[in-house]
Structure 1
Amino acid sequence: MPADTCMRWALALSLMCSATVAQAATVWVGRFPAGASGLPEPWRVQQLDARVAPTRYTLKTWNGVVAIEAVAERSMALLGRPLEVDLEATPHLCWLWRVDAPLVTADMRTKAGDDYAARVYVSFKVAPEALGLATRAKLALARSIYGDQVPDAALNYVWDNRQPVGTLMPNAYTDRTRMIVLRSGAGDAGAWVVERRDVAEDFKRAFGDLPAQLGGIALASDTDNTGERARAGFAEFRFVSRDEICAAPDPATKRDDRVAPDRSER
């Protein structure tokens, strides 16, 4: 066999092996089934305050994407599930999301404005000995009010209305949750957008070298403070290795990682 032919075969086999390894590394945590009735297991609605109406979550096919639709009307509840993911092997979280529009009056710097058209919430478990006495006392108090779903630490990836992309700040209610603005304003509204985050690196930026394990993931559309209405979609959640590509489910229908909106849905 000629040397150049051998080289081409070797290159092809190398690419095939790389693709197989990358595919095997994917940990799907939110690939929603088409045609299912009800919300898929193990995703559950988590209502933090019984006095507040829960956001409505339904499964639908939206512009060809099987997704969770969240509709918030003066409401708040998470749709979440537990996780056990090795962030050393698969530290990057990929997903698709969309909003009809950002909120108008929200302001993440204040408790009265702590609402988001869309948010993705990643929670962590921290060894008790790594938390100070004051932090443990605060967490115990919070759990006595809101239940065991209050995490030791959490990251919130949000679609905000006014803060610039890249903003990292404590939540208005608790410094155990850090907010990271991924989208801001209406520029990307009305279409599916692909996101990719290095969760391990984001946690280190937010909390330093605090030893922690990933404990859960949740999504939400949240308008209980501002009293506004919002609609958002979420799909295709998976953890991948640093080398794997995050792509939209159908590359032939997207441009610049966006899927064209169906105007009848708006």
Structure 2
Amino acid sequence: MLNQKEVTVGRLNRKGNWLTASLAVVFGLAGSAGADNNPIPGFSSLQDLSESSGWEALEFPKIDQHSRYELVTDGDRQVVRAQTSGGASGLITRLDLEPGDALILRWRWKVSNVYDQGNARAKSGDDYPARIYVAFEFEKDKAGFFERAKRSAVEVLFGETLPGNALNYIWANQLPVDNIVANPYTDQTMMIAVNSGNEQVGQWVTVERDIVADYRRAFGEAPPRLVGIAIMSDSDNTGESATAWYGDLELVTGE
């Protein structure tokens, strides 16, 4: 369950920004990335999904029904299976990385189905059987007065720093692949369809994206520091159900 700090911070925004607000509580002031070439803990080598694994539960105010995440074996590899039915929650890992000129995010995933009522352009359809959330550092000098004041209040009250812009890589039901649209709740989060529709449902799909290039396309400028990555399967808006499987996520410097 969320503690009171998370609930209070989360109430600053509706669902589209709850993810951002809740991430702030868990990420806090993230420490330096490890020496490993891939700073993201691999699901294939985890013993469990406790906080010591490097992944932590991401839950939202006013959403009592959570998605379920567990380690399972699929074929010869351990992965995370996510099950959602009218609820929402995720798993997150904190990072503190300078993206540089190119930063490649690779992962593999599989879904049981897409949502009939899913729609990346509408609040009522803002659900996905699988998504990868990439959060970036808040750039104070580029924000307006109200945004700076709100964030300063949170920092004073709770000692936490809210992330800024974010990319969501989604398995959409109708948004064409490689299309980018603003999240219907906030233009600080941009949705990028990397899979769409039923054609590859039930199959493992490998995805590779250059986070820097995608950020430039989405926001028209170079990205600030990367502060965290989350996986999430949600269905609280559509009320539908789905199962997703997530393999290891890998971050590597672009060639």
How does the TM-score come out when normalised to structure 2?
A: 0.77
Distance 2:118 2:84 in 1: 14
Which of 53, 57, 81 is the equivalent residue of 2:65? 53
Aligned amino acid, residue 236 of structure 1: D
Q: Which shows bigger deviation, 166-175 or 129-138?
A: 129-138
- Structure 2: stretches of 5+ with no match in the other structure: 1-34
In the alignment, what sits opposite 2:179? Answer: 167
Alignment of 1:1-266 (within 5 A): 26-34=37-45, 36-39=47-50, 41-88=53-100, 91-136=103-148, 151-209=163-221, 212-243=224-255
Give me the whole-angstrom Cα distance separating, in 1, the residues matched to 2:36 and 2:94.
19
Structure 1 residue 60, shift from structure 2 partner: 1.1
Q: 2 CA distance for matches of 1:134 and 1:35?
A: 42
Is this contact kept in 2: 1:91–1:240, CA < 8 A? yes
Where has structure 1 moved over 6 Å in runs of 4 or more? 140-143
Q: CA deviation at 1:130?
A: 2.1
What is the distance in 1 between the residues matched to 2:101 and 2:36? 8
Aligned residues: 218
Do the aligned residues in 2 keep the contact of 1:81 with 1:217 (CA within 8 Å)? yes
SS of the counterpart of 1:112?
A: helix
In 2, Cα distance between equivalents of 1:218 and 1:38? 13
CA RMSD of aligned residues (A): 2.7
Query: Residues 202 and 138 from structure 1, CA distance in 2 versus in 1: closer, same or farther, beyond 3 angstroms?
Result: farther
Displacement of 1:116 in angstroms is 0.4
CA contact (8 A) 1:101 1:189 kept: yes
Q: Distance in 1 between matches of 2:234 and 2:161?
A: 17
Shift of 1:210: 5.5
CA deviation after TM superposition for structure 1 residue 138, in Å: 6.4
Q: Could you tell me whether the CA contact under 8 Å between 1:139 and 1:152 is conserved in 2? A: no
Structure 1: gaps (5+ residues): 1-23, 244-266
Name the SS of the counterpart of 1:200 in structure 2: helix
Match of 1:257 in 2: none
3-state secondary structure, aligned to 2:116: coil
Deviation at 1:207, TM superposition (A): 1.4
Same amino acid, percent of matched pairs? 34
* CA offset digits 1:110-160 (Å, max 9, x no partner): 1111000100000001231122224435667999xxx96853110000000
Larger Rg: 1
Cα separation, partners in 2 of 1:210 and 1:35, compared to 1, 3 Å? closer
8 A contact 1:30–1:235 mirrored in 2: no
Query: 1:45 & 1:224 partners in 2: Cα distance?
Result: 17
8 Å Cα contact 2:136/2:223 also seen in 1: no
CA distance in 2, matches of 1:190, 1:197: 21
